[in-house]
Amino acid sequence: MLDQRAQTAGSTTAAGQITKIAVLAAVAALAVWAALPLIGARAWWGLAVEAAVVAIVFYTYLQRRSIPLKYLVPGTLLLIAFQIAPVVMTAGTSFSNYGDGHRTDKDGAIEAIIAAGVQQTSGGANYRLAVGESASGELTLLLTDTADGSTWAGTEEGLTELDGATVDASGAITAAPGYTVWDLAELNERQAELAELAVPTGPETGIKVQGLSAFEGTSTRSYDEGCDCITDSETGTVWYADNEEGSFLTEDGQAALVGWRVNIGFDNYLSVITDPDIRGPFLGVFAWNVMFAAGSVLFTFVIGLGTAMALNKPSMRGTKVYRTLMILPYAMPSFAMLLVWAQMFNRDYGLVNELFGLSVNWYGETWAARAMVLIANTWLGWPYMFLISLGALQALPTDSLEAAKIDGATGVTAFRKITLPLLLIALTPLLISSFAFNFNNFNAIQLLSGGNPFPAGESVGGTDLLITYAFRQAFGATTADYGFASAVSVFIFLIVATISAVMFRTTRSQEDVY
Amino acid sequence: MATVKRRKRPGWIAEFGWRHLVAVAVLVFGLVPILYVVSAAFNPKGTLSATSLLPTDFSLVSFDRLFSDPNIPFASWFANSLMIAVPAAFISILISSLAAYAFSRFRFRGRRPMLLFLLLIQMFPAFLSVVALYLIFGAIGEFYPVAGLNTKLGLMLVYMGGALGVSTWLMKGFFDTIPKELDEAATIDGASHAQIFFGMILPLAAPIIAISGILAFVGTMNDFILASLFLTDRPEMTLAVGLKTLTADNSPASYFGIFAAGTLLTSILTVAVFMSLQRYIVSGLTGGAVKG
């Protein structure tokens, strides 16, 4: 059969050929368009990757030897680019100290530290200041030259000309493409970060912030390659490079604010074990994470199965109406219903406290908050369990149930000894994937409790899952620590992989598909 | 006769009574939040404190504000969600049905490991590598602003990355049930593999395509983590990200009614789809149950 198909594969119609040529032409056009910015930026690696992808696509659809390839390549390319590559990159980042304060390479860090020592000199340029964040979250000074009105974007890496910015009457930039401009409130809140930021413009010159303006000047600091250190000639401070930590340290161990990105090996992982400030909360989060996933599966399954058992009676009246109504919660958009539940648990006006006459502070106490997320998540999940249980119940072999009945097994005994084991065989894979899903149920926590309650001064909340914890480490209000967040992600990967391995083992006997 | 009747009554309770009791109890739990949303959406005040479980008053104020308040670009959110979820579902179904066809009809080296790998990939949602995705798309945006952070295209590409994992297995299982004799007959008649796939297999697999498409669509609509990271400009947000801002702590109290109205409008779409395809959904889920 296969050989036949291989021989006839070439006998495509004219319409098919034209479609193929048109699609390949579109790919070629797209490739040229995509190559231009890469060539412009001299990103030769990017260009090589692009060329390889285009070559694979052309080879696949022009060759006749392997037909399956034609059907697998589109999905596989996307899978590699946007799922596998990010996983590999996450693993790579987890071994680095990448994050705020460690974004650039060493030369960049040296320039930034030197620029931070800039003193105003006469004749240096003056700027009107606005502050914003780039698309990738980098703190950026948005500067308007008071002399000629030209606009610039400055980061700790350097100064670039900014086109297309909107300027108000005083000359300050109010909007710029690719940047989120801060308002005054945000500016005040993050004053400290601003004071430390300096934009290098030359080996010894840089731009520093002063109030709502910025100036260019010459630095009193200089880098000496011999001692691998930076000396401030005015204050006499000397920072020595620590090439393992990626920081410049003074004699008494004070780090300069800007460091650079280095490979720190297993430090991110080890800190979970060795640093008591991280270990305690981390283990707490992990234990609750397992509890949350197991509890969600248990409660949804018990309610879903119970309901399915009740409705699994063809002669019963109204089953159709019941079933339709029970699908309703499943059909509602889950993100919105999570937000509704969040409001229902409001302490003062929420429905739950009102209905039951309670005054529980659902967001303020750890166990109340945990009960809350479990209740809401059970509500979201039981219709799914109901549907699959009903399907599995109806597919049960009736003869074993009949035989049990003849043997005198009734009610609870029959259920426990026959129905449940048979059901579990069919449903175990789904229960395991449900566990894996809930293990990483970001929405349920983020939209319901947001990780609350937070003990005073802690960044780990009582209902935090590992995934929400990692997310906050990377994108939360405090400083970003991409390295540590990635390490937590890798940890989650390992757990899910273990779950998958267990799942493969339990289901292998049932798979007859190979 | 009389004895039979007397025996029938306790029989009914043992046989059916408890079933109705269970069903009603579960339904109360299941429908209370939905009833609450309806009540809140039609409440004229629209605040949390004024809303009770049963509607006390009727007003369309919240719906009106949903479309007139310049601070709440609900129509844009709705359009954004559709503009992302519809093409994403369509392309992901096309891609995974292509792959499912290859896995179902051809025997080639690496087939089994690839199938197992797809099963494994399913367990890893894209957002687990959210940090890397953020950095990758930050870099992509520097070269191609149309597909970087804060763009719909960039977000769609991320969703596409997981396309293969979502429904390839489900579809392969269904394709396996289509007799191979049909392919052979078509081949003898001179049909190419592409003609067999697009002209024969796809139409025959319409039910499973519909189910997979709907599940992909709903999954994309419900995504919050990636959408909130990618789309930060208010008019660019999706429904999930946008509606969340309405319930934020610093939002006015009356936004709750508006949020509830938005939730209702959003759910009309998904509920209608689910209800009309109820039968397929049940069989699709249990099909997934057997095939893992």
Q: Supply A315's token pair.
A: 């002669």
From CA B240, how far away is CA B221, in angstroms rounded?
Answer: 7
Nearest CA in chain B to A392: B286
Q: Supply B65's token pair.
A: 């504000």
Q: Average pLDDT in the A145-163 region?
A: 84
Burial of A112 (0-12, 13-18, 19+ CB in 10 A): buried
Which residue from A66, A330, A391 is facing B289, i.e. has the nearest CB? A391
Domain, as residue range, for A42: 2-93
A342 and A374 assigned to the same domain? yes
Q: Which of residues 171-200 of A touch B (CB under 8 A)?
A: 178, 180
A179 and A55 assigned to the same domain? no
DSSP structural state of residue B264: H
Nearest CA to A470 among A444, A442, A495? Answer: A442
B39 touches chain A (CB under 8 A): no
A88 and A152 assigned to the same domain? no
A224 and A363 assigned to the same domain? no
Q: How far does A456 lie from chain B, in Å, by closest CA?
A: 19
A200 and A285 assigned to the same domain? no
Question: Domain boundary at A264, A284, A306, which?
Answer: A264
A247 and A178 assigned to the same domain? yes
A290 and A405 assigned to the same domain? yes
Q: Looking at this predicted complex, what is its ipTM?
A: 0.88
Do the beta carbons of residue A464 and residue A284 sit within 8 Å?
Answer: no
Burial of A402 (0-12, 13-18, 19+ CB in 10 A): exposed
Nearest CA to A150 among A131, A165, A132, A130? Answer: A165
Determine whether the interchain pair B225/A387 forms a contact, defined as Cβ–Cβ distance below 8 Å.
Answer: no
Q: How far does A249 lie from chain B, in Å, by closest CA?
A: 28
Residue A512's pLDDT band, with cuts at 50, 70 and 90, is very low
Distance, CA of B102 to chain centre: 26
The predicted structure's pLDDT at residue A101: 81
A313 and A254 assigned to the same domain? no
Determine whether the interchain pair B259/A339 forms a contact, defined as Cβ–Cβ distance below 8 Å.
Answer: yes
A172-200: per-residue pLDDT in tens? 888 888 788 888 777 777 777 777 778 88
Q: Which of residues 87-146 of B touch A (CB under 8 A)?
A: 95-96, 98-99, 101-102, 106-108, 111-112, 114-116, 119-136, 138-139, 141-145
Burial of A312 (0-12, 13-18, 19+ CB in 10 A): middle
Tokens 């840089």 belong to residue: A206
From CA A118, how far away is CA A325, in angstroms rounded?
Answer: 69
Q: Is residue A336 part of a domain?
A: yes
A324 touches chain B (CB under 8 A): yes
Q: How far does B187 lie from chain A, in Å, by closest CA?
A: 7
Determine whether the interchain pair B29/A379 forms a contact, defined as Cβ–Cβ distance below 8 Å.
Answer: yes
Q: Which of residues 21-40 of A touch B (CB under 8 A)?
A: 34, 37-38
| CATH level 2 (architecture), domain B72-246 | Orthogonal Bundle (1.10)
Beta-ladder partners of A248: A241
Question: Domain boundary at A264, A290, A307, which?
Answer: A264
Higher pLDDT, B251 or A504: B251
Q: Is residue A326 part of a domain?
A: yes
* A158 has a pLDDT exceeding 80: yes
B77 touches chain A (CB under 8 A): no
Specify the domain boundaries for CATH 1.10.3720.10 within chain B.
72-246
A326 and A434 assigned to the same domain? yes
B252-276: per-residue pLDDT in tens? 888 899 999 999 999 988 888 788 7
The predicted structure's pLDDT at residue B24: 94
Residue type, A493: F
Nearest CA to B149 among B78, B230, B71, B75? Answer: B230
A259 and A279 assigned to the same domain? no
The stretches of A117-231 forming alpha helices (DSSP H) are 184-189, 191-196
- Which CATH number characterizes residue A288's domain? 1.10.3720.10
Q: Supply A281's token pair.
A: 């909360």
B10-68: per-residue pLDDT in tens? 577 777 888 999 999 999 999 999 999 999 999 888 888 888 888 888 889 889 999 99
A457 and A315 assigned to the same domain? yes
- Four-CA torsion B187, B90, A60, B139, nearest 10 degrees: -170
Across A138-142, A401-405, B253-257, least confident range:
A401-405
Question: Domain boundary at A264, A292, A318, which?
Answer: A264
Do the beta carbons of residue A369 and residue A462 sit within 8 Å?
Answer: yes
Q: Is residue A291 part of a domain?
A: yes
Which residue from A87, A324, A335 is facing B240, i.e. has the nearest CB? A335
Burial of B94 (0-12, 13-18, 19+ CB in 10 A): middle
Q: Supply B83's token pair.
A: 């503009």
Residues 6+ apart with CB under 8 A from A375: A341
Identify all chain B residues contacting A339, using CB atoms and an 8 Å cutoff: 243-244, 247, 259, 263
Q: How far does B164 lie from chain A, in Å, by closest CA?
A: 6
From CA A448, how far away is CA A286, in angstroms rounded?
Answer: 19
Q: Is residue A269 part of a domain?
A: no
Q: Is residue A259 part of a domain?
A: yes
* B2 has a pLDDT exceeding 50: no
From CA A285, how far away is CA A462, in angstroms rounded?
Answer: 8
Q: Is residue A99 part of a domain?
A: no
Identify all chain A residues contacting B110, using CB atoms and an 8 Å cutoff: none
Total tally of structural domains belonging to chain A: 3
A252 and A110 assigned to the same domain? yes
Q: How far does B229 lie from chain A, in Å, by closest CA?
A: 9
Q: Is residue A433 part of a domain?
A: yes
Q: Is residue A247 part of a domain?
A: yes
